Amino acid sequence: MAVTKITEISVCLAKLYFAVLLEHVRTELGKAEADRDITIRYGELVRRTKEKYPDAPYIEAAIPVNIGKRLLVVEMICQRLSLPNLACLAVNGQGRPGEGYTGDWEADKAAILAFDWDAASADVHHAFELETAAARKRARTERRRKLPESEARDLYWEAYKADRASYDGKVDLEGKEAMIKLLMRGFPIEEAFNEVVEQE
């Protein structure tokens, strides 16, 4: 698993995705076995997360195109706590985990169904809190100046004009608006870009 720089945004969103994935599993376990579908599409996971946590920090950066880096954090936390890989339940449009997933999918899904998730909740919360604190500590080393919306939009437009090739096809309208909100919070343009696109 290659998790490079883990940002506070990724940890915060991963924690929310973890909670929604866990809720999804519990709902599916309540169904007859023939009616279960424990997988969930990226877009649906994002939609449910935004619906359940509309006021959560960084929720504006929850978009399907960048979900992979957040799922890698979910996977990392699961691995750290010796839990089944809950992240493998989030799937792309073809109904499969994304390219970052390298496990045995059928075995991982079976382990998720057999696990007692109630016993792990306190450990999971603590692990996410520790990772959030570490990400905040890394971010404190960077000075950030919050921008008014008009200035953030101008900064986005200048960056887009300077490097259209990087933006076209990677930053859609939803991603653009998410970037602008991050710029307003004081994120540097490169970091805002990296938060809304899925890196190859």
Average pLDDT of the chain is 87
Q: In the numeric block, which tokens belong to residue 194?
A: 């990296």
Q: How far apart are CA 3 and CA 155, in angstroms?
A: 28
Q: In the numeric block, which tokens belong to residue 83?
A: 């839990």
Q: What is the mean pLDDT of residues 48-76?
A: 91
Strands 40-41 and 90-91 come out as parallel
Q: How far apart are CA 29 and CA 12, in angstroms?
A: 26
Q: Is the pTM of this model over 0.85?
A: no
Q: What's residue 168's pLDDT?
A: 85
- Do residues 36 and 29 lie in contact, with contact meaning Cβ atoms separated by under 8 Å? yes
Q: How far apart are CA 16 and CA 87, in angstroms?
A: 12
Q: How far apart are CA 56 and CA 49, in angstroms?
A: 9
The alpha-carbon radius of gyration of the chain (Å, integer) is 18
Q: What's residue 1's pLDDT?
A: 42
Q: What are phi and psi of 122, to 5 degrees?
A: -65, -40
- Do residues 72 and 1 lie in contact, with contact meaning Cβ atoms separated by under 8 Å? yes
| pLDDT confidence band for 52 (50 / 70 / 90) | very high
pLDDT in tens, 103-139: 899 999 999 999 988 777 778 888 999 888 888 777 6
pLDDT in tens, 136-155: 777 666 656 788 899 889 88
| pLDDT confidence band for 47 (50 / 70 / 90) | very high
Q: What's residue 192's pLDDT?
A: 85
Q: What's residue 2's pLDDT?
A: 45
